[in-house]
Amino acid sequence: MVSIDSVPGVVLGVALLAVLAGVGVVRRRRAMADGGYPTTDERETETETEKPFGLVRWFTTVDHKDIGILYIVYGLVAALWGGTDAMMLRTELITPGKTIWGTETYNGLFTTHGVTMIFLFALPVFFGIANYFLPILIGADDMSFPRINAIAFWLLPPALVLVRGGLITEIIAKVISPLGLTALTAPLLALKPIDISWTMYTPLSTAVANPQVDLALLGLHLSGIATTMGAINFIVTIFAERSEDVTWATLDIFSWTMLTTSAIALFAFPVLGSALIMLFLDRNFGTAFFALDGGGPMLWQHLFWFWGHPEVYILVLPAFGLVSLILPKFSGRKLFGFKFVVYSTLAIGVLSFGVWAHHMFTTGMDPRVRASFMAVSIAIAIPSAVKVFNWMTTMWSGRIRLTAPMILLVGGIGTFIIGGVTGVFLASIPIDLLLHDTYYVVGHFHFIIMGVIAAAMVAASYYWFPILTRRMYDQRVARVQAVLLIVGVVVTFTPLLILGYLGMPRRYAYYPAEFTLLQQIATAGAYVIGVSVFLWITNMIQSMRTGPLVMNADVWNLKETGQFTREWQWFEERLEERRSFERSESGTAPPGDDD
């Protein structure tokens, strides 16, 4: 039979071309005379029209704000894809035996899920937020190296394609198969999604034949290069581009955390890059870095975790920065103990390089080395706890306003406490010997990753939405979404902690029947998270198009508590520019024009 799967490919290709051509040919019309308004806001002030039109603008931009948005969109695509993996994982776990896919696909799913979330989603989103706001917060015109900034971003899409290969190549093979080019489609179909887990431990990762693993290694290497370039750019920008009135003493907390994160990345990612290349050479060119008579599998683990542990702080520090920045705004008070939050950030930055072997307690390394890593691992909890207490004292007797971002932050701090305390337990050797490689570990890091990291991102999207789009979103839906996200995280990951205590190992598609109920509760929680993500996306997209226009820059009433910070002042100036432009264009003054 002529493969039916090929028909949609051809139709799709033609249709996409037609749409592109259509959009390219048709220019948007100007403002309507009857006071009506097009669905998107297309009229541009003078500064805005300096940019090229349409798609060209996005492919050629070196403006930090545009690049920031590109990063965020990219991270969102990765998150949705990795989230689809997660939903499939959880669906497979509804029944103890094979529910839908079974072991092989499950292995592929948790690998691509982990890799996508860690490498392609989390940091790109923070780099995006920072790209947009950090220059504004420190009074810089742009990043130090705008072109390197653009290059660093544009390395990421190929990285995504390489890492997630397998499926993408399968789609391409289906699209071109009617042309009958088996010579082309056969190698494409040979690429299977990788299934060696995101830790890529040797000897498994050197032994598997799947050529997709090599492509994924190159893709990860590429994303590491991109991260290093971005990190250097942030560091130089913060050192060299601050406006005169921004000193080290008045640098905002988000910039401090981005500085520390970038510094950690600068030291950690080159190690990962080297390790990836060594693995690549071992697989393809007969080197013996990780062979038994070479460095052995332990060498891989040391190199991997020398990057891997700092990486978790690379991800969490920007989230801490956002919490520290936004929380005071809805507490009506200044951040309590600003200095100590900065010091604890720097302390984490240094200590994060001294704990990596706590991921290797069960490998049989020298007990004295093990003990020292345990000591440092427990010590690193202190600066994190300092922050938590600072956040609590910030809210203490403050005037709390439970807006959507605030709900996410408070909930995120709560889930972070669970994630952090379970981490202290894992840092202690005797407990880790019991809990290593169980669901407890998965529960622990998801409480942090989904709890505070994802929550802080969403909170930032709500907090700064008016600046990004000049519009307001539906705040009621946003509050519902915030609560659903936090509830979903707790419902999903608490059962995992319990499963771990009961001894259920991670990374298994099948499990003994007595764990069924806990697994099903976790799956239900995951679907709640899915619903909340859906609400967030629809709210963002629809509000971006038709949300009520913001006329007064003080959206959150920050002036009355003296917290109308730089980015909002910048926003106020832009609104003013826009208003005088509209006045000159239409002759009628929009409301709020009198202030």
Partner 1 sequence: MERNRVTSAIAGGIAGTAVLTLLLILLEVQTREQIRAFDVIARFVGTPGQTAVGFVLFVLAGVFAWPLLFVALRDYIPRGPDPAAQGTIFAVVLWIAFAIAGRGDLSGAILILYTAYTFFAHLAYGFTLGVVYGHFREGSQVPREYYAGQ
The one-letter code for the residue type at 464 is W
CB of 160 to partner 1, least distance (A): 14
**Is residue 292 within the footprint of partner 1 (CB under 8 A)?**
no
Residue 12 tokens read as 């799709």
At 549 the three-state DSSP class reads strand
Comparing CB distances to ligand HEM, the nearer of 347 and 449 is 449
Among 76, 88, 118, 355, binds ligand HEM (CB under 6 A): 118
Among 45, 105, 469, 565, binds partner 1 (CB under 8 A): 105
- DSSP assignment of 388-405 equals HHHHHHHHTTS-----HH
Burial of 373 (0-12, 13-18, 19+ CB in 10 A): buried
* Site size for ligand HEM (CB under 6 A): 24
Residues 289/335, Cβ–Cβ less than 8 Å: no
**Is residue 506 within the footprint of ligand HEM (CB under 6 A)?**
yes
The one-letter code for the residue type at 242 is R
Out of Cu ion, ligand HEM, partner 1, none, what residue 114 binds, judged by CB under 5 to 8 A for its kind, is: ligand HEM
The one-letter code for the residue type at 382 is I
Among 309, 333, 446, 479, binds Cu ion (CB under 5 A): 309
Comparing CB distances to partner 1, the nearer of 9 and 411 is 9
Cα→Cα distances 416→74, 264, 273, 320, 423, Å: 26, 21, 30, 10, 10
Rounded Cα distance between 120 and 126, Å, is: 11
* CA 306 from centre of chain: 21
Residues 54/22, Cβ–Cβ less than 8 Å: no
Nearest to 405 by CA among 354, 351, 472: 472
**Is residue 64 within the footprint of Cu ion (CB under 5 A)?**
no
Instruction: Point out which span in 19-27, 131-139, 312-320, 370-378 binds partner 1 (CB under 8 A).
Output: 19-27
Residues 463/325, Cβ–Cβ less than 8 Å: no
Q: Where are the alpha helices (DSSP H) in 177-295?
A: 182-190, 204-207, 212-240, 253-284
Residue 380 tokens read as 């690193």
Residue 281 tokens read as 């050479």
**Is residue 582 within the footprint of partner 1 (CB under 8 A)?**
no
Residues 230/127, Cβ–Cβ less than 8 Å: yes
* Site size for Cu ion (CB under 5 A): 1
Beta partners for residue 471, in sequence order = 549
CB of 12 to partner 1, least distance (A): 5
- What is the biggest distance separating any 2 CA atoms in the chain, rounded to whole angstroms? 81
Comparing CB distances to partner 1, the nearer of 100 and 433 is 100
**Is residue 466 within the footprint of ligand HEM (CB under 6 A)?**
no
Out of Cu ion, partner 1, ligand HEM, none, what residue 4 binds, judged by CB under 5 to 8 A for its kind, is: partner 1
**Is residue 90 within the footprint of ligand HEM (CB under 6 A)?**
yes
Residues in the chain: 595
Cα→Cα distances 286→2, 13, 218, 283, 294, Å: 42, 42, 17, 7, 12
Out of partner 1, ligand HEM, Cu ion, none, what residue 231 binds, judged by CB under 5 to 8 A for its kind, is: none
Rounded Cα distance between 492 and 345, Å, is: 29
Out of ligand HEM, partner 1, Cu ion, none, what residue 117 binds, judged by CB under 5 to 8 A for its kind, is: ligand HEM
**Is residue 534 within the footprint of partner 1 (CB under 8 A)?**
yes
CB of 456 to ligand HEM, least distance (A): 12
CB of 76 to ligand HEM, least distance (A): 12
Q: Which of residues 22-81 bind partner 1 (CB under 8 A)?
A: 22, 26-29, 32, 35-39
| Residue nearest to ligand HEM according to CB distances in the complex | 114
**Is residue 117 within the footprint of ligand HEM (CB under 6 A)?**
yes
- Tokens 């004292």 correspond to 393
Among 2, 240, 249, 513, binds partner 1 (CB under 8 A): 2
Rounded Cα distance between 142 and 138, Å, is: 10
Instruction: Point out which span in 111-119, 202-210, 455-463, 574-582 binds ligand HEM (CB under 6 A).
Output: 111-119
Out of ligand HEM, Cu ion, partner 1, none, what residue 548 binds, judged by CB under 5 to 8 A for its kind, is: partner 1
Nearest to 139 by CA among 569, 572, 578: 569
Letters for 57-86 (x = contact with ligand HEM by CB under 6 A, - = none) are --------------------------x--x
The one-letter code for the residue type at 448 is I
Binding site for partner 1 (CB under 8 A): 2, 4-5, 7-9, 11-12, 15-16, 18-19, 22, 26-29, 32, 35-39, 84, 87-88, 91-92, 94-95, 99-101, 105, 167, 170-171, 174, 466, 471-472, 527, 530, 534, 538, 541-542, 545-552, 555-557, 590-592
List contacts with ligand HEM (CB under 6 A): 83, 86, 89-90, 110-111, 113-114, 117-118, 121-122, 197-198, 442, 446, 449-450, 454, 492, 506-507, 526, 529
